[in-house]
């Protein structure tokens, strides 16, 4: 059995793939782990909940953060992890563990699924994952753009607006993550509350990104404005990427993108067309929601741990979801 684990700032997802690449089990839990010890414990617990699916042949782990080619984590800011997490897990799981960036993992599974469903192999594509933070990945000429050490593709830290006194977790300012990530959206919403926004009786005084998305879907103008700012930021990032690698398609993933599926892709495309470079000569790539959803990175991690595997598209059995 081939196991894929994905841990983000607030959730851990796990999948088991059989020898045909078919997802046979899924597991999803919320978590508050921080630091190597706690994060490793969460990942081990997630893997062990899949033990009934059979012996582990391979394990892939997807994390939000900077991951080098050798699997060592340089920085996992939201999780506060670093170092050789794979070796820490391998001893307990009894098999080698490959650690990869969550953006690279998600893009692998999304492209695999796209090819399986359409018969079309995309060789130039971009992924933006809008979750607690913002991640991403890029493929050009069929190859993942990973850079000299593997740290390329941290698209959440593309500068999209002029710097301010507000600092991103990376130490910079004006980053995409500050406007389109869950934490960034929450900060923008809190500022709106300070200036008089009353989001509704069922929304806390410090709204979460989900609260903002829900309010925007109900037609709240301030929440809609916050989400539109996120769309503008994404469009600015995509414009910069497109004059660098010229992708055929841009995929959106992550909990924010899926939660705001009725609003975000269309708004991003609107702003992309409105401010497009070389208008009249070229057209912007389509912006599509990934077709897999919350288990995309976990599936991708399993696939990257065993490159000979490809996805088989069938419903999975859900072990648990809390």
Residue 147's domain spans which residues? 123-247+255-289
- Span 271-294, mean pLDDT? 92
> Are 298 and 260 within one domain?
no
**Number of alpha helices (DSSP H) and beta strands (DSSP E) in the chain:** 10, 14
Would residue 117 count as lying in a domain?
no
pLDDT at 223: 93
> Are 276 and 147 within one domain?
yes
> Are 283 and 299 within one domain?
no
> pLDDT class for 177, splitting at 50, 70, 90?
very high
> Are 175 and 155 within one domain?
yes
> Are 285 and 297 within one domain?
no
Residues 52 and 80: their CA atoms lie apart, in Å, by 31
pLDDT at 276: 94
> Are 205 and 238 within one domain?
yes
Residues 118 and 13: their CA atoms lie apart, in Å, by 26
For 61, residues 6+ apart whose C-beta sits below 8 A from its C-beta are 4, 5, 6, 7, 43, 85, 86, 89, 97, 98, 99, 100, 301
Would residue 69 count as lying in a domain?
yes
Q: What is the mean pLDDT of the chain?
A: 89
pLDDT at 201: 60
pLDDT at 123 over 60: yes
Q: What's the pTM value of the predicted model, to 2 decimals?
A: 0.86
pLDDT at 310 over 90: no
pLDDT at 203: 64
pLDDT at 209: 94
Would residue 114 count as lying in a domain?
no
pLDDT at 322 over 80: no
pLDDT at 137: 94
pLDDT at 74: 87
Query: For residues 99 and 65, is the Cβ–Cβ distance under 8 A?
Result: no
pLDDT at 252 over 60: yes
Residue in the structure block whose two tokens are 């009934």 = 52
Would residue 267 count as lying in a domain?
yes
pLDDT at 186 over 90: yes
pLDDT at 233 over 80: yes
Would residue 100 count as lying in a domain?
yes
Q: What is the CATH number of the domain that holds 77?
A: 3.30.420.40
pLDDT at 55: 86
> Are 87 and 138 within one domain?
no
The pLDDT > 90 percentage for the chain reads 65
> Are 31 and 145 within one domain?
no
> Are 96 and 243 within one domain?
no
Would residue 218 count as lying in a domain?
yes
> Are 139 and 237 within one domain?
yes
pLDDT at 304 over 90: yes
- Span 76-104, mean pLDDT? 89
Would residue 115 count as lying in a domain?
no
Residue 126, CB-side half-sphere exposure with 13 Å CA sphere:
27
> Are 157 and 217 within one domain?
yes
Residue 5: strand pairing partners: 14, 61
Per-residue tokens: 28: 């999803």
pLDDT at 242: 95
The number of folded domains in the chain is 2
More confident residue, 138 or 153: 138
Kindly state the helix (H) or strand (E) to which residue 272 belongs, with its residue range: helix 264-274
Tell me how far CA of residue 40 lies from CA of 5, 7, 97, 117, in angstroms: 11, 10, 12, 35
> pLDDT class for 316, splitting at 50, 70, 90?
very low
> Are 144 and 231 within one domain?
yes
Would residue 17 count as lying in a domain?
yes
- Span 209-216, mean pLDDT? 93
């Amino acid at each position: 059995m081939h196991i894929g684990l994905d841990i983000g700032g607030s959730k851990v997802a796990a999948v088991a793939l059989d020898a045909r690449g078919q997802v046979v089990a899924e597991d999803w839990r919320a978590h508050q782990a921080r630091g190597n010890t706690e994060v490793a414990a969460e990942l081990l617990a997630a893997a062990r909940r899949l033990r009934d699916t059979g012996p582990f042949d391979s394990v892939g782990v997807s994390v939000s953060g900077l991951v080098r080619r050798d699997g060592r984590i340089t920085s996992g800011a939201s999780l506060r992890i670093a170092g050789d997490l794979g070796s820490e897990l391998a001893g307990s799981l009894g098999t080698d563990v490959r650690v990869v960036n969550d953006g690279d993992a998600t893009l692998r599974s999304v492209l695999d699924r796209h090819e399986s469903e359409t018969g079309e192999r995309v060789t130039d594509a971009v992924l933006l994952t809008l979750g607690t933070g913002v991640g991403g990945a890029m493929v050009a000429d069929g190859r993942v753009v990973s850079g000299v050490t593997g740290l390329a593709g941290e698209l959440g830290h593309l500068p999209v607006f002029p710097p301010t006194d507000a600092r991103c977790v990376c130490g910079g300012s004006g980053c995409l993550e500050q406007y389109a990530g869950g934490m960034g959206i929450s900060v923008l919403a809190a500022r709106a509350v300070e200036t008089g926004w009353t989001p509704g009786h069922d929304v806390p005084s410090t709204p979460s990104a989900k609260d903002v998305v829900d309010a925007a879907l109900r037609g709240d103008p301030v929440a809609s404005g916050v989400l539109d700012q996120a769309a503008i930021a994404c469009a600015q990032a995509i414009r910069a990427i497109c004059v660098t690698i010229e992708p055929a398609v841009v995929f959106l993933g992550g909990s924010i993108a899926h939660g705001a599926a009725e609003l975000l892709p269309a708004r991003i495309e609107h702003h992309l067309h409105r401010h497009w470079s070389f208008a009249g000569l070229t057209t912007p790539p389509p912006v599509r929601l990934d077709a897999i959803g919350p288990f995309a990175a976990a599936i991708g991690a399993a696939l990257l741990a065993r490159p000979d595997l490809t996805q088989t598209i069938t419903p999975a059995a859900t072990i648990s979801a809390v």
